[in-house]
Amino acid sequence: MAPTQTQSAVTSAQLPAASLKALAPPAPSTTPTPSPTLGKTRPIPMNRVMTSIDYKNMRFVVFDAPTDSNLEAYLEELKLRNVGDIVRVCDPTYCTDLCTEAGIKVSDWSFADGSIPPAHVINGFLSLCNERFPGGLTGAATFQGDPGMNGVKAIGVHCVAGLGRAPILVAISLIEAGMSPLDAVEYVRARRRGAFNTIQLNYLVETYKRSFIKKSNGVSAPKMASFSFGAFKKDRSSSPTGSQVGGREVLDQSASELGQTASMTASVTALPLPGKETSKGFKGWFSKKA
């Protein structure tokens, strides 16, 4: 006689505790899944913290300031983005020893929060760009595919939040590379939302002028952009065509008319910037606007 369903059924009370535990569905895991990229858990989504900005032959990574507690996670992401330099434009918030061990050089060019970079910071940053990127600031090469695969090292730039001081240096580099100021602002903002305050925007669009050149011997230096013969009126030129090319002739003629010596004429290139005191004979003449 076949056993009935009641006879063949086994209640949970008759099973040993070990069997019940084995048959129970697995409890949800409370351990975070490691990142497939970095192989470790990170408390911050790095794709929101770091912004890559590539243009022609230049590569930048803009981010906020790490601390000693999360620096390792930042460095792993920076290495994935092929960053070879970090430019820190705020007060130090971490020790740079780990950066050095990772083969990343840190340059400290701090300036005031919400302000525009001083001349020595701009010149230092542009010199670094000119040295690191193939072809310098005037390089026309563009990346094919993933720029990180081309072996081009990126320059990482950070301030406290990565929204003011760091992006403005990147925008200045884009302007020096040939981009118009408005296009540079839009280009950076499209990738780093919220970049620039009003002071920085006015500086980029209204004040900053392209002034960095690459010398033929490979040494970079700023132009004397604030002193230009092009500012003279055409009717002052001794050139028959009235062109601005005759600025040197105008300068020599004026020096002669004022009774200046030849040595004073030869020292014109060392004149101070507009607005600063000049020699008495030249002060009024140079202050006139075209």
**Window from 23-27, 46-50, 219-223 with minimum mean pLDDT:** 219-223
Instruction: Give the mean pLDDT of 71-75.
Output: 96
Output the pLDDT for position 241. 34
pLDDT of 110-132, one tens digit each? Answer: 999 999 999 999 999 999 999 99
Top-confidence residue, 234 or 176: 176
Output the pLDDT for position 151. 77
Instruction: Please list the residues that pair with 83 across neighbouring strands.
Output: 154
> Has 113 been annotated as catalytic?
yes
* pTM exceeds 0.85 for this model: no
pLDDT of 233 over the 70 cut: no
> Has 91 been annotated as catalytic?
no
Instruction: Please list the residues that pair with 214 across neighbouring strands.
Output: 220
Report the chain's mean pLDDT, rounded to a whole number. 72
Top-confidence residue, 122 or 15: 122
The whole-angstrom separation of Cα 75 and Cα 288 is 54
pLDDT of 277-286, one tens digit each? Answer: 444 444 444 4
Instruction: Point out the catalytic residue in the list 159, 183, 235, 252.
Output: 159
Enumerate the domain spans of the chain: 46-139+149-212
Fold entry, domain 46-139+149-212: Protein-Tyrosine Phosphatase; Chain A (3.90.190)
Burial 56-91 (b: 16+ CB within 10 A, else e): bbbbbbbbbbbeeeebebbbbbbeebbbbbbbbbbe
Instruction: Point out the catalytic residue in the list 113, 146, 183, 252.
Output: 113
Which SS3 state, helix, strand or coil, does residue 217 take?
A: coil
pLDDT of 127-185, one tens digit each? Answer: 999 999 988 888 777 765 555 556 789 999 999 999 999 999 999 999 999 999 999 99
pLDDT of 38 over the 50 cut: no
Q: CB within 8 A of 260, min separation 6: which ones?
A: 281
pLDDT of 30 over the 70 cut: no
